[in-house]
Amino acid sequence: MPPTSPPTAVTPSPQTSPSGSGKTKVTMMDQFNAAKKEAGDAIVFFRMGDFYELFGTDAEVASRELGIALTSRSKGADAMPMAGVPVKSMEPYLMRLVRAGFKVAVCEQMSDPRTTKGIVDRGIVRVVTAGTITEEDELDARSSNYLAALMVDGKRASVAYVDLSTGRAAASADLDLARVTDEIARIAPAELLVPEDLPRTAPDLAEALQLDLGPRITWREPWHFSRESALRVLKDQFRVGTLEGFGFDDQDLAVCAAGAAIDYARETQRGGCDHLLRLEKIDTGQHLVLDRATRSCLELTQTQRGARREGSLLDAIDSTLTPMGGRMMRDWLLSPLRDVERIVYRQRGVAEFVDGPFLREDVRSLLNGVLDIERLVAKLSTGRVNARDLNALSGSLRIVTPLRTKIAGVYSKALGDLSDALDPLTEVVESIDMTIVESPPMTIKEGGVIAAGISSDLDELRQIAGDGKAWMARFQGDAIERYGIPGLKIGFNSVFGYYLEVPRGQVKQVPTDFVRKQTLKNAERYITPELKEFEDKVLRAEERAKDMEYEIFNALKDQVAAEIPRILGTARSLAEIDVLAGLAQTAATQRYCAPTVDGGDTIEIKDGRHPVIEAMQKDVTFVPNDTTLDRKKRSVGIITGPNMAGKSTYIRQTALIVLLAQIGSFVPASSAKVGVCDRIFTRIGSADDLSRGASTFMVEMVEIANILNNASTKSLVVLDEVGRGTSTFDGLALAWAIVEHMHDVVRARTLFATHYHQLTELSDKLTGVHNLSVAVREWDDEIVFLHQIIEGGTDRSYGIQVARLAGVPDALIGRAREVLRDIETDSDDLGARILQKRHVPDAALLPPGMQLGLFDNEPSQLEKTLAEIDVESTTPMEALQLLAKLKELSR
Ligand SMILES: Nc1ncnc2c1ncn2[C@@H]1O[C@H](COP(=O)(O)OP(=O)(O)OP(=O)(O)O)[C@@H](O)[C@H]1O
């Protein structure tokens, strides 16, 4: 076991009084002050008998956050705010503080108050923080609870993360500084450790993190991140002489980040980190990169509105059955692969389960009985395991042997490898099953845990205790007969143990050697020397049996804990089998196909569907659509069409299909070919991000700049109505220039949904631009959405028809039509005029600030006002006012 700081008594050592007269007495407040000093910025729960007391500012904070009464300790000059929570119900209070961003140090009584003379020793036994929670009840079973640490050196950085509730520890290979916030967003840590000097060394990053994570950041002194300290901690934790075995070089920044994280984990857990066994290397270069905005736009794990899981891609495709599988599924979705071989390796595993419905069903019915082995192991390591947990562990491991038999004849390498990695741990299962009774109690110190036949000593003690009970029954019968007291009963209470109870009406028969102990309303209670003598024997046997059970339980616990590496390895394999079988289940029930994934440039999807909308709209038939993108003739697709037609749905489904293909999954299409992408970027114009304190349009442009600077020819870029957040002409001008830039300079595969139908003219001049539109059937001046993507652009937005569908008054609609006719006549040749002025091929590389000079004639005030009307958001009253204003301007 790696040496960690054991709970230490914080009782300050007795000091000599200044007068030299001898030792001064340590007071309880001395102990508290010492604990507070040790706890740093943590709130101290200070154990005093049946309560945890909080003092000073801790009490004030707790009173405010928890709504508990604030009292005062002492009066006058010594007065100090004080608040308390009962020991029995402390967990919910503690967790509420932790959830609110506080840290809590639990300071326990370290010696038994009954046997201690004077003041009991006290010591901090654990520090609970958001990133180090291991209590199952407090965690979402299907997501990880990461404690992360960030290390920055110049332009390079690394992020390490540890989940103490499952034992997973990982660190990124060195990253470019610009990628750090995305990587942290992917990990979504519950707590992030950051060196205190970051605001000086990387001020922009520090500010961004502060905005994103706020109270989830824990600032740590820089020495915790030093290579020297980190190497010491890591080598000690993993019991290795070098980290090369994990793929890390001592010089990697990852070492510093991981060292800082594990140092903190050990500090807070005070031991109990035995289940952190290895450090995984995350090479983000191997993964398809999804930045934060893309993850959010694509609603991968939660919806944009309401942040709910229901309605996310994860929810639509996750058919895993175990919590471990659920967590792995989530990880896979957030880190799709880039390496074709690895993608195909996984996909074949899925295919085997799709092709073998019986195999899938059998495997899944076995997995159905598997509990959260990783979190059970974490409990084992942190010493909080009880007999029920061990039974749950053995119950879960028991399926490994039949599972191996089931997948014995598999052909896919993925399943074969996983089957080989499954360890049945037969001896662990047998030991637990043999040692622990079938339905043990929650507590491990009160007996009733260990099965008969495990220890002859224990059996003997139990015999005595059991016999004792029979003896007492006999004693009761004899006494009734001998003294003629028919109502005599034997009872037990914790004050004076076993007693004889005689109804008031029969006390006259009581012999003189009965000693009266208690008088009740209708009865008297007595003890006798004979009864007490036997009671001692019985009780002693019971106590000793309980102690012995506890010892046996602990020995079993240690035996199982020694196998943690094997158990965790098996848990991981089970999780992966669960994910593969789950993806197959989704593929089979949702009619997905196996995509062809290769290193080429083509994305060709036949009858693609949106996995989430399809799953959510059960009563509507989803209209499938094709997508073809490559890097020659079809690198940029411009999609036009009315509002509500399905443009956004179409471009997003393309991104989701590519993403699913790259995690190794089947995809919602009749066929698909995916040339792997290095990154997917998705942006929606005017995405509301006021919470980050930037204007909507500014955010949109910052994100566009990020795409233009980071997308490569291997990327997939999906843009939805970019440019909408500013005036029409500015927006159109920007959208136009962005398409040109994507086509000429970035050359990433791009889909651009827009209402600026002028953009469709770009396809005439730019070889890689093609137009798509969404078919609409017009009927009697009404429109019907067909949701079908067709080749070619449209020059109609049908905004006015949509407004009419929405109930905008007829008079206004009529006027809007008139206005539209005028505008359209005026701007008919707008696209042609812009194209004439195109600078080929480097138009987009104009120096910043240089005007595009798109428009020869300054629009009139009337035109400007008209252009700025947003029909969708105009109320009837505003429309009438606008009409009046327009009329005024036209005079
Ligand atoms: N292929 C489809 N099959 C069936 N229903 C669809 C399809 N595509 C879209 N829809 C439905 O149409 C709705 C609107 O789609 P979407 O938001 O993609 O339209 P849009 O053209 O982007 O609209 P806007 O321009 O107003 O943003 C969706 O919520 C969905 O209910």
Query: ipTM of this predicted complex?
Result: 0.98
pLDDT of residue 832: 63
What residue ranges line ligand 1, CB within 6 angstroms? 613, 617, 620, 622-623, 625, 641, 643-649, 787
Could you tell me the pLDDT band of residue 405, with boundaries at 50, 70 and 90?
very high
Residue type at position 481: E
Distance 639 CA to ligand 1 centre (A): 13
Mean local confidence (pLDDT), 637-646:
87
Measured torsion, CA atoms of residues 374, 380, 382, 386, in degrees rounded to the nearest 10:
120
Task: List the residue whose alpha carbon is closest to atom 30 of ligand 1.
Answer: 646
For tokens 């980050």, the residue is 692
Whole-structure pTM value = 0.79
Least confident of 390-404, 527-541, 594-608, 844-858: 844-858
pLDDT of residue 809: 84
- pLDDT, tens digit, 9 for 90 and up, residues 572-585: 999 999 999 999 99
Distance 747 CA to ligand 1 centre (A): 27
CA of 755, closest atom in ligand 1: 25
Distance 649 CA to ligand 1 centre (A): 5
Distance 740 CA to ligand 1 centre (A): 27
Could you tell me the pLDDT band of residue 855, with boundaries at 50, 70 and 90?
very low
| Calpha distance 856→876 (Å, rounded) | 34
Mean local confidence (pLDDT), 702-712:
86
Rounded to the nearest integer, the mean pLDDT of the chain is 86
pLDDT of residue 368: 93
pLDDT of residue 635: 93
Mean local confidence (pLDDT), 555-564:
94
Could you tell me the pLDDT band of residue 28, with boundaries at 50, 70 and 90?
confident
What would the two tokens of residue 341 be? 């071989």
On the question of pLDDT at 632 being above 80, the answer is yes
Question: To which H or E segment does residue 525 belong?
Answer: strand 523-527
Quick check: helix, strand or coil at residue 815?
helix
- pLDDT, tens digit, 9 for 90 and up, residues 317-336: 999 999 999 999 999 999 99
pLDDT of residue 273: 85
pLDDT of residue 638: 94
Mean local confidence (pLDDT), 170-176:
90
CATH code of 339-425+563-590, in short, is 1.10.1420.10
Fold classification of 140-286 is Nucleotidyltransferase; domain 5 (3.30.420)
Given a contact cutoff of 8 angstroms between Cβ atoms, the answer to whether 747 and 735 are in contact is no
Mean local confidence (pLDDT), 755-761:
87
| Calpha distance 740→259 (Å, rounded) | 47
HSE-CB for 476 with a 13 A CA cutoff = 17
Given a contact cutoff of 8 angstroms between Cβ atoms, the answer to whether 265 and 164 are in contact is yes
Whether omega for the bond prior to residue 841 falls within 30 degrees of 0, making it cis, is yes
Mean local confidence (pLDDT), 265-278:
85
679-684 and 716-720 strand pairing: parallel
Mean local confidence (pLDDT), 541-565:
92
Quick check: helix, strand or coil at residue 516?
strand
In a mutational test of the pocket of ligand 1, which residue from 607, 640, 649 has the highest number of ligand atoms less than 8 Å from its CB?
649
Could you tell me the pLDDT band of residue 837, with boundaries at 50, 70 and 90?
low
Distances (CA, A) of 290 to 163, 173, 216, 296, 297: 22, 17, 22, 10, 11
In a mutational test of the pocket of ligand 1, which residue from 298, 613, 754, 776 has the highest number of ligand atoms less than 8 Å from its CB?
613
- pLDDT, tens digit, 9 for 90 and up, residues 116-140: 777 888 989 888 999 988 877 778 8
Task: List the residue whose alpha carbon is closest to atom 26 of ligand 1.
Answer: 643
Binding residues for ATP, as ranges, are 641-648
pLDDT of residue 839: 53
In this structure, which long-range contacts are made by residues 620-623, counting pairs with CB atoms below 8 Å and at least 24 apart in sequence?
A: 622/787, 623/786, 623/787, 623/788
HSE-CB for 423 with a 13 A CA cutoff = 14
Q: Do domains 28-128 and 140-286 have the same CATH topology?
A: no
603-608 and 679-684 strand pairing: unpaired
Query: Cβ-count burial of 136 within 10 angstroms (0-12 exposed, 13-18 middle, 19+ buried)?
Result: middle
In this structure, which long-range contacts are made by residues 154-159, counting pairs with CB atoms below 8 Å and at least 24 apart in sequence?
A: 156/253, 157/253, 158/252, 158/253, 158/254, 158/256, 158/257, 159/183, 159/184, 159/187, 159/257
Q: What is the DSSP letter of 513?
A: T
Distance 642 CA to ligand 1 centre (A): 10
Least confident of 133-142, 294-303, 619-628, 741-750: 133-142
CA of 785, closest atom in ligand 1: 12
On the question of pLDDT at 473 being above 90, the answer is no
pLDDT of residue 356: 94
532 or 829: whose pLDDT is higher? 532
Please give the distance of CA 473 from its chain centroid, rounded to a whole number: 57
Task: List the residue whose alpha carbon is closest to atom 31 of ligand 1.
Answer: 613
Could you tell me the pLDDT band of residue 687, with boundaries at 50, 70 and 90?
very low
Distance 787 CA to ligand 1 centre (A): 7
Least confident of 136-150, 166-180, 367-381, 843-857: 843-857
On the question of pLDDT at 692 being above 90, the answer is no
pLDDT of residue 215: 82
| Calpha distance 701→293 (Å, rounded) | 13
Fold classification of 596-807 is Rossmann fold (3.40.50)
CA of 753, closest atom in ligand 1: 22
Distance 609 CA to ligand 1 centre (A): 12
pLDDT of residue 691: 45
Task: List the residue whose alpha carbon is closest to atom 14 of ligand 1.
Answer: 644
Query: Cβ-count burial of 466 within 10 angstroms (0-12 exposed, 13-18 middle, 19+ buried)?
Result: middle
Choosing among 3.30.365.10, 3.10.180.10, 1.20.1250.20, 3.40.1170.10, the CATH entry for 28-128 is 3.40.1170.10
| Calpha distance 278→281 (Å, rounded) | 10
Mean local confidence (pLDDT), 334-358:
96
Distance 645 CA to ligand 1 centre (A): 5
Task: List the residue whose alpha carbon is closest to atom 8 of ligand 1.
Answer: 646
Mean local confidence (pLDDT), 873-887:
76
Least confident of 311-320, 391-400, 842-851: 842-851
| Calpha distance 415→808 (Å, rounded) | 59
| Calpha distance 736→766 (Å, rounded) | 12
Mean local confidence (pLDDT), 206-221:
89
Residue 577 φ/ψ, nearest 5 degrees: -60, -40
| Calpha distance 111→121 (Å, rounded) | 6
CA of 788, closest atom in ligand 1: 1
The domain defined by 456-557 carries CATH number 2.60.120.1130: no
Task: List the residue whose alpha carbon is closest to atom 18 of ligand 1.
Answer: 646
DSSP 373-408: HHHHHHHHHTT---HHHHHHHHHHHTTHHHHHHHTT
User: Domain locations in the chain?
Assistant: 28-128, 140-286, 339-425+563-590, 456-557, 596-807
pLDDT of residue 848: 39
Mean local confidence (pLDDT), 266-277:
84
Q: Of 258-262, 406-410, 458-462, which one has max mean pLDDT?
A: 258-262
Task: List the residue whose alpha carbon is closest to atom 9 of ligand 1.
Answer: 646
Given a contact cutoff of 8 angstroms between Cβ atoms, the answer to whether 798 and 776 are in contact is yes
Task: List the residue whose alpha carbon is closest to atom 24 of ligand 1.
Answer: 643
pLDDT of residue 859: 65
Distance 547 CA to ligand 1 centre (A): 67
On the question of pLDDT at 879 being above 90, the answer is no
Could you tell me the pLDDT band of residue 17, with boundaries at 50, 70 and 90?
very low
On the question of pLDDT at 733 being above 90, the answer is no
